[in-house]
A and B are shown apart, each in its own frame.
Chain A
Amino acid sequence: MTSERRYFDEMLLSSDDVRAPYAEYQKWFANEDPTRLSKKSKEAEAFFRRTGITFNVYGQAAAQERLIPFDLIPRIIANREWTRLSKGIEQRVSAINAFLHDIYHRQEILRAGVVPVELISRNEAFLPQMIGVTPPGNVYTHIVGTDIVRTGEDDFFVLEDNARTPSGVSYMLENRETMLQMFPELFSQIKVQPVSDYPKNLGRSLAACPPDHCSGKPTVAILTPGIHNSAYFEHSFLADQMGVELVEGHDLRVVDGHIAMRTTEGYKVIDVLYRRVDDDYLDPLNFNPESMLGVPGIMDVYRAGNITIANAPGTGIADDKAIYSYMPDIVEFYTGEKAILKNVQTWRCSEPDSLAYVLDHLAELVVKEVHGSGGYGMLVGPAASQKELASFAAKLRKNPSNYIAQPTLSLSTVPIFAKKGLAPRHVDLRPFVLVSPKGINITPGGLTRVALKAGSLVVNSSQGGGTKDTWVLED
């Protein structure tokens, strides 16, 4: 072999040849005038601003609303690839729900010794308040956003399971909407599976898990921390699309053993609450007493079976990064099958041997906080300076069980439309999964996040990442 590519590029085989899923797109792209595309790209940005598709960045001035940069080159997934991926996701998500039920009831998996007891008993994501509670419909994770990365033709890995309150689905929908408006001709030439049913499916999925007392059509509402939350746009977008109320903690109170919202005509009972507030903030009486975002007493209403909370409290134990390393075993334990999707090799720093290895190889590894998210508090070894490595090593030694480490993955790249033409950038994928007693629904595609900086492996929007429309081709 004369030249070796370090990364797997999903589109380009060489400078003038593309992989099969991109063949049709390439024909169109080759005939496009780059200046027209630049103009379109600016139009898209203006559209996002006008529509207010922005997110707030924590730690910046309150008025700061930023756009997530949108790249107009789609990420294209072949039908065959998607079929396998979605099977793997479905398997994993079913296992997660079975695991959650088990862990809050008989704990068979601990008795079987598949997952060590102390990993649960000493885990702050484990909610004792959920022991013995069976959520309506026995669904724990109504909404999941499984983060997937790819390193080669057939190499897909699950990076995170995101079983709490995954965000980003509004970008998936708006990205497609934008592409449809900018390049309608593409969609008549290339058959792309639609994503626009997501809000309808979400509404149905939530309504399929009503609490026992509810006989008619359940009243659904979305609970948001408020307009300053980074994902507020998404909360209001989904409420709007589903035609349900967008409530905040101060709109709600316990009335006669139910959760009710203050309306212009008095208090009205809510049956299903899609909360976008973390467990910790959900109920100041049962959890963090400082929280102004939640509803005092909602956990008691929940435990009494008078409201459905989606996702159920306590699901964080399933996407905990220390639990993650056991996920292949968990899948096998509950489904009796081998996990279809691979896990990334993970060193649990709580184990002395692993810690020693991690400290020795810090410059090659990615180290994450067990409960962290959003790319905060993580170390990307190859990109870190000597000083950063040293200070992180100190943190690791001080509190090893707070960290896990993984090899730096060779994330696949997809080109972005840059000033000087196509430029490869690393991507990941977050498909959105809906779980109801009737089954599991996965929207074809999902949100592709892309690191806009050349060489960067961090795709989080809070760290300068962008997004792409994600296409799953029809057969």
Chain B
Amino acid sequence: MLGKTAGGLYWMFRFLERSENTARLVEAGFRIALTRSKDPASEWKSVVTTAGVRNSYDAKYDSYLAANVVDFLLRDTTNPSSVISAIGQARTNARMVRTALTTEVWEAVNESWMGLKETLKKPVRETELPAILGEIRRHNALVRGAMQGTMLRNDIYDFTRIGMVLERADNTARIIDVKYYTLLPTASFVGSALDNVQWETILRSVSAHRSFRWLNGDEMTPAAVAEFLILDSRFPRSLSFCSRILEENLSYLAKDYGIRMPCHDLIDAQRDRLRQQTISTIFDEGLHEFITTFIRDNNAIGRQIEEDYRFIG
């Protein structure tokens, strides 16, 4: 496979994942601002921060009005992380690597771009927001379904999975990073209404509120939430899960190509670190430090993969 194609597949799925994550952040922010928060502006502000677009947002707006944040995150083409930008980039990459995709996958991506371009042509009104967020989720689900059902499990598939979980791990880690202080036992007012709102926001941002409750009942403690997001490899957006899938697909590449690359050492080291930790050792070391290190390592693995598999010349 061409190195460029591997890169195109990887970025196509990073951007698809990003579009879905951004939509999920908006969804969580919308719900919390609507139902629980006394201070919606600060809620929206943390949504913008988590999306990693604080600077560009602040350059454009001077307050955190729901309508502005939603517009910026969903349909602003000057924001490279907005849903419409991310879908557009995913589709451009898909066009570039079209020969590597099945018709079903290409059509799912192309239709998603055509559909959302139409839907997001006009500013989104509050009443339409839930339906539009649903549409974004459905489009992504279609692409994933087409992948699952029609693609060969070869290096092409591996690079798409690698892109997807790297982006996803980065997203989950950034959510924890922005809200980490609300998860610290020292800072917590355990059981207070305020904390519950914060924890629920976190869980909703990764669509985990139901699965968390399902596994933990009503026992919502900061340690349990942190443990779930970081170490529970049953949960498909946890750092541990992402790391496992990454290792898996990288090892397929090593087997396919008959050679281990430097990125394999990096992922092994990350896997070991996650395996050796418990939530209390993480808290002992410092949650913030742990997360910052994880984000840095995750990025480093991404860069190493780009180099090892010659995405660019």
Q: How far is the CB of A192 from chain B (nearest CB, A)?
A: 24
Nearest-neighbor residue (CB-CB) of B3 within chain A: A262
User: With A245-B2, A263-B2 given, is the CB distance from A240 to B98 under 8 Å?
Assistant: yes
Q: Give the total of B residues in contact with A, Cβ under 8 Å.
A: 24
Mind listing 13 A-B residue pairs with CB under 8 Å? Answer: A51-B110, A52-B95, A52-B106, A236-B95, A236-B99, A240-B99, A248-B4, A261-B2, A262-B2, A262-B310, A263-B2, A264-B155, A264-B257
Mask for B1-15, Cβ within 8 A of A = 1, else 0?
111111000000000
- Are B1's CB and A50's CB within 8 A? no
Neighbouring A residues of B106 by C-beta, 8 Å: 52
- Are B3's CB and A264's CB within 8 A? yes
Residues of chain A from 238 to 267 with CB closer than 8 A to chain B in the complex:
239-240, 245-248, 250-251, 253, 261-266
Interface: A227 (CB within 8 A)? yes
Contact pick for B310, options A239, A245, A263, CB 8 Å: A263
Contact pick for B92, options A227, A248, A261, A262, CB 8 Å: A227
Most buried by A among B96, B98, B99: B99
- Are A264's CB and B309's CB within 8 A? yes
Interface: B224 (CB within 8 A)? no
- Are A251's CB and B1's CB within 8 A? no
Nearest-neighbor residue (CB-CB) of A268 within chain B: B2
Interface: B71 (CB within 8 A)? no
Contact pick for B2, options A52, A232, A251, CB 8 Å: A251
* In the bound complex, CA of A245 to CA of B97 (Å): 10
Interface: A49 (CB within 8 A)? yes
Nearest-neighbor residue (CB-CB) of A236 within chain B: B98
Nearest-neighbor residue (CB-CB) of A244 within chain B: B99
Most buried by A among B4, B96, B310: B4
Interface: B297 (CB within 8 A)? no
Nearest-neighbor residue (CB-CB) of A240 within chain B: B99
Q: Which are the 3 A-B pairs with shortest beta-carbon distances? A: A264-B309, A240-B99, A262-B3
User: With A50-B107, A52-B110, A251-B313 given, is the CB distance from A263 to B3 under 8 Å?
Assistant: yes
Interface: B114 (CB within 8 A)? yes
Interface: B111 (CB within 8 A)? yes
* In the bound complex, CA of A247 to CA of B97 (Å): 10
Chain B residues near A (Cβ < 8 Å): 1-6, 92, 95-96, 98-99, 103, 106-107, 110-111, 114, 155, 253, 257, 259, 309-310, 313
Contact pick for A246, options B99, B103, B107, B313, CB 8 Å: B99
Q: How far is the CB of A242 from chain B (nearest CB, A)?
A: 10
Q: How far is the CB of B106 from chain A (nearest CB, A)?
A: 7
- Are B111's CB and A50's CB within 8 A? yes
* In the bound complex, CA of A262 to CA of B4 (Å): 8
Most buried by B among A52, A247, A262: A52
Neighbouring A residues of B92 by C-beta, 8 Å: 227
Neighbouring A residues of B114 by C-beta, 8 Å: 49-50
Nearest-neighbor residue (CB-CB) of A232 within chain B: B95
Neighbouring B residues of A245 by C-beta, 8 Å: 2, 5, 99
Neighbouring B residues of A265 by C-beta, 8 Å: 257, 259
* In the bound complex, CA of A266 to CA of B1 (Å): 10
Chain A interface mostly = mixed
Neighbouring B residues of A49 by C-beta, 8 Å: 114
Contact pick for B1, options A239, A253, A264, CB 8 Å: A264
User: With A52-B95, A227-B96, A240-B98 given, is the CB distance from A262 to B313 under 8 Å?
Assistant: yes
- Are A239's CB and B99's CB within 8 A? yes
Neighbouring B residues of A250 by C-beta, 8 Å: 4, 313
Nearest-neighbor residue (CB-CB) of A248 within chain B: B4
Q: How far is the CB of B249 from chain A (nearest CB, A)?
A: 13
* In the bound complex, CA of A401 to CA of B309 (Å): 52
Nearest-neighbor residue (CB-CB) of A261 within chain B: B2
Contact pick for A263, options B1, B110, B111, B253, CB 8 Å: B1
* In the bound complex, CA of A240 to CA of B105 (Å): 14
User: With A251-B313, A264-B155 given, is the CB distance from A51 to B107 under 8 Å?
Assistant: yes
User: With A52-B95, A232-B95, A246-B99 given, is the CB distance from A264 to B110 under 8 Å?
Assistant: no
Nearest-neighbor residue (CB-CB) of A264 within chain B: B309
- Are B310's CB and A264's CB within 8 A? yes
Nearest-neighbor residue (CB-CB) of B95 within chain A: A227
- Are A253's CB and B313's CB within 8 A? yes
Contact pick for A50, options B4, B110, B253, B257, CB 8 Å: B110
Q: How far is the CB of B254 from chain A (nearest CB, A)?
A: 12
Neighbouring B residues of A239 by C-beta, 8 Å: 99
* In the bound complex, CA of A239 to CA of B155 (Å): 19
* In the bound complex, CA of A215 to CA of B37 (Å): 72
Most buried by B among A239, A246, A247, A261: A246
* In the bound complex, CA of A272 to CA of B146 (Å): 33
Neighbouring B residues of A246 by C-beta, 8 Å: 99
Q: How far is the CB of A7 from chain B (nearest CB, A)?
A: 39
Q: How far is the CB of A244 from chain B (nearest CB, A)?
A: 8
Q: How far is the CB of A298 from chain B (nearest CB, A)?
A: 15
Q: How far is the CB of A72 from chain B (nearest CB, A)?
A: 22
* In the bound complex, CA of A266 to CA of B310 (Å): 8
Mask for A251-294, Cβ within 8 A of B = 1, else 0?
10100000001111110000000000000000000000000000
Q: How far is the CB of B181 from chain A (nearest CB, A)?
A: 42
Q: How far is the CB of A77 from chain B (nearest CB, A)?
A: 30
* In the bound complex, CA of A51 to CA of B98 (Å): 11
* In the bound complex, CA of A266 to CA of B309 (Å): 8
* In the bound complex, CA of A2 to CA of B5 (Å): 65
* In the bound complex, CA of A2 to CA of B259 (Å): 83
Nearest-neighbor residue (CB-CB) of B106 within chain A: A52
Q: How far is the CB of B313 from chain A (nearest CB, A)?
A: 6
Mask for A149-161, Cβ within 8 A of B = 1, else 0?
0000000000000
Neighbouring B residues of A263 by C-beta, 8 Å: 1-3, 310
* In the bound complex, CA of A52 to CA of B114 (Å): 10
Neighbouring B residues of A232 by C-beta, 8 Å: 95
Q: How far is the CB of A274 from chain B (nearest CB, A)?
A: 14
* In the bound complex, CA of A245 to CA of B310 (Å): 16
Neighbouring B residues of A262 by C-beta, 8 Å: 2-4, 310, 313
Q: How far is the CB of B111 from chain A (nearest CB, A)?
A: 6
* In the bound complex, CA of A245 to CA of B4 (Å): 11
Neighbouring A residues of B155 by C-beta, 8 Å: 264
Neighbouring A residues of B107 by C-beta, 8 Å: 50-51
* In the bound complex, CA of A49 to CA of B4 (Å): 26
Mask for A211-254, Cβ within 8 A of B = 1, else 0?
00000000000000001000010001001100001111011010
Q: How far is the CB of B68 from chain A (nearest CB, A)?
A: 25
Nearest-neighbor residue (CB-CB) of A52 within chain B: B110
Neighbouring B residues of A51 by C-beta, 8 Å: 103, 107, 110
